[in-house]
Amino acid sequence: MIVSKQTPARLARWIAPRAVALTAALSLTSAAAIPAAEPIKIGVIGEESSVAGASITKAAQMAADDINAHGGVNGRQVQIITYDDHSSASDAVRAFQRAVTEDKVSAVIASYISEVALAIEPWSARMKMPFITPGAASTDISKHVHDDYATNKYTFHGWLTSAFIAQSICDFEHDTIVKDLHAKTTVVMSEDAAWTTPLDAQYLECLPKAGLKVLDHIRFNPDTTDFTPIFNKIEGEHPDVITTGISHVGVQPTVQWHDQRVPIAMAGQSSQATTSTFWKDTNGDAEGVITASAAAPGVAITPGTVPFTDAYIKKFGSSPAYDGYTTYDDVHIIADAIKRAGSTDPDKMVTEMEKTDYVGTIGRVQFYGQSDQYTHALKYGPGLVTGVDIQWQNGKQVTIWPRDKANGKITFPAAIKSPH
Amino acid sequence: MTALQILIDGFAISALYALAAVGFTLIFGVSGVLNLSHGGIMLVAALIGWWAAGDLGLGVYGGTLVGIVAGLLTAYLTYFVVVRPIQRSRKIPREETEIFVLTGTLLFGIMIQGGMAALFSDNPVTMRPLIRGVVNIFGVNTPKNEIMIAVVCWVVIGLLWLLINRTRAGKSMLAASINPRGLTLLGFELSRIYFLVWTIYGTLAGIAGVLLASFLGVSTANAGQLTASAFSIVVLGGLGSVSGSLLAAFVVGYLETITAYVNPELRPIPALLLLVLVVCLRPQGLLGRR
Amino acid sequence: MTRLLRSRLVWIAALVVLVAAFLPLWLSAYMLGVLTVAYYFGVFSMSWDLLFGFAGEVNFGPTFLIGLGAYTAAILNNQFSLPIPVCVVAGALAALVGGLLLAMPALRLRGPYFGLVTLVAVLLLQNAIVIFAKYTGGEIGMTVPSVLSIDPRVNYWYALIFMVISAIILFGLSRSAIGLILQASGQDAIEAAALGFNVTKHKLAAFSISAVFSGIAGALLVLYMGTASVGTVIDIAIGVQIIIAAVLGGRRTILGGALGAIFLICANELLRPLGQLNTFVVSAVALAVILFFPDGLLGHVLRGGERE
CATH code, domain with A221 = 3.40.50.2300
Closest chain B CA to residue A232: B5
On whether both A45 and A108 belong to a single domain, the answer is yes
Q: 3-class secondary structure for chain A?
A: CCCCCCCHHHHHHHHHHHHHHHHHHHHHHHHHHCCCCCCEEEEEEECCCCHHHHHHHHHHHHHHHHHHHCCCECCECEEEEEEECCCCHHHHHHHHHHHHHCCCCCEEEECCCHHHHHHHHHHHHHCCCCEEECCCCCCHHHHHHHHCHHHHCCEEECCCCHHHHHHHHHHHHHHHHHCCCCCCEEEEEEECCCCHHHHHHHHHHHHHHHCCEEEEEEEECCCCCCCHHHHHHHHHHCCCEEEEEECCCCHHHHHHHHHCCCCCEEEEEEHHHHCCCHHHHCCCCCCCCEEEECCCCCCCCCCCHHHHHHHHHHHHCCCCCHHHHHHHHHHHHHHHHHHHHCCCCHHHHHHHHHCCCEECCCCEECECCCCCCCCCCECECCCCECCEEEEEECCEEEEEECHHHCCCCCCCCCCCCCCC
C177: closest CA of chain B, how far (Å): 23
On whether both A93 and A147 belong to a single domain, the answer is yes
> Would you call B175 an interface residue with chain A, using a CB distance cutoff of 8 Å?
no
Q: Which residues of A touch C138 (CB under 8 A)?
A: 193-194, 197
CB atoms A50 and B123 under 8 Å:
yes
CB atoms A50 and B125 under 8 Å:
no
Domain assignment of residue A361, given as a range: 40-159+302-365
Closest chain A CA to residue B3: A229
B268: closest CA of chain A, how far (Å): 8
In this complex, the chains that touch A, judged by 3 or more CB pairs closer than 8 A, are B, C
Q: Which of A87, A192, A229 is facing B9, going by the closest CB pair?
A: A229
On whether both A167 and A283 belong to a single domain, the answer is yes
pTM for the model: 0.87
Of the two residues A32 and B34, the one the predictor is more confident about is B34
Q: Which of B1, B117, B260 is facing A49, going by the closest CB pair?
A: B117
Closest chain B CA to residue A250: B124
On whether both A271 and A310 belong to a single domain, the answer is no
Q: Which of A91, A95, A118 is facing C141, going by the closest CB pair?
A: A118
Q: Which residues of B touch C112 (CB under 8 A)?
A: 34, 235, 239
On whether both A258 and A313 belong to a single domain, the answer is no
On whether both A106 and A82 belong to a single domain, the answer is yes
CB atoms B110 and C291 under 8 Å:
no
On whether both A233 and A323 belong to a single domain, the answer is no
Sign of CA dihedral B174, B177, B182, B185: positive
Q: Which residues of A touch C230 (CB under 8 A)?
A: 115
CB atoms B124 and A285 under 8 Å:
no
Q: Which residues of A touch B1 (CB under 8 A)?
A: 236
- Sorted by sequence, the CB contacts under 8 Å of residue A325 that are 6+ apart come out as A59, A294, A295, A305, A308, A360, A361, A362
Of the two residues B95 and C251, the one the predictor is more confident about is C251
On whether both A257 and A275 belong to a single domain, the answer is yes
B252: closest CA of chain C, how far (Å): 14
Q: Any idea what DSSP says for residue C234?
A: T
Q: Which CATH class for the B2-281 domain?
A: mainly alpha
Q: How many domains does chain A have?
A: 2
Q: What pLDDT is recorded for position A20?
A: 56
CB atoms B118 and C276 under 8 Å:
yes
Closest chain A CA to residue B136: A260
Q: How many domains does chain C have?
A: 1
> Would you call C117 an interface residue with chain B, using a CB distance cutoff of 8 Å?
yes
| pLDDT by 10s per residue, chain C, length 308 | 456 556 777 788 888 888 889 988 888 889 999 999 999 999 999 999 888 766 666 788 899 999 999 999 999 999 898 899 999 999 999 999 999 988 887 777 777 777 878 888 898 898 889 888 888 888 888 999 888 888 889 999 999 999 999 999 998 888 887 777 777 776 666 777 777 777 778 778 888 999 999 999 999 999 999 999 998 999 888 888 898 898 888 888 888 899 999 999 998 888 888 877 877 888 888 888 888 888 888 877 776 544 43
Of the two residues B95 and B199, the one the predictor is more confident about is B199
Q: Which residues of A touch B6 (CB under 8 A)?
A: 229
Q: Is A154 contained in some domain?
A: yes
Whole-number percent of chain A with pLDDT over 70? 91
Residues 154-213 of A with CB under 8 A from B: 192
Q: Is A322 contained in some domain?
A: yes
In this complex, the chains that touch C, judged by 3 or more CB pairs closer than 8 A, are A, B
Q: Is A374 contained in some domain?
A: no
Q: What's the rounded mean pLDDT across residues A370-398?
A: 93
CB atoms A50 and B260 under 8 Å:
no
Domain assignment of residue C289, given as a range: 2-307
Give Dmax (Cα) for chain B. Answer: 63
pLDDT tens-digit series, residues A4-40: 455 566 665 666 566 555 554 554 444 444 455 789 9
Rounded CA gap, A249 and B123, in Å? 10
On whether both A328 and A279 belong to a single domain, the answer is no
pLDDT tens-digit series, residues B158-192: 888 888 778 877 777 777 777 777 777 777 777 78
Count other C-beta atoms under 10 Å from residue B52's C-beta: 22
CB atoms C279 and A86 under 8 Å:
yes
Minimum mean pLDDT range among A56-65, A135-144, B179-188, C5-14? B179-188
> Would you call B143 an interface residue with chain A, using a CB distance cutoff of 8 Å?
yes
CB atoms A126 and C150 under 8 Å:
yes
Q: What's the rounded mean pLDDT across residues A79-93?
A: 92
CATH of the domain at C130: 1.10.3470
Residues 340-359 of A with CB under 8 A from B: none
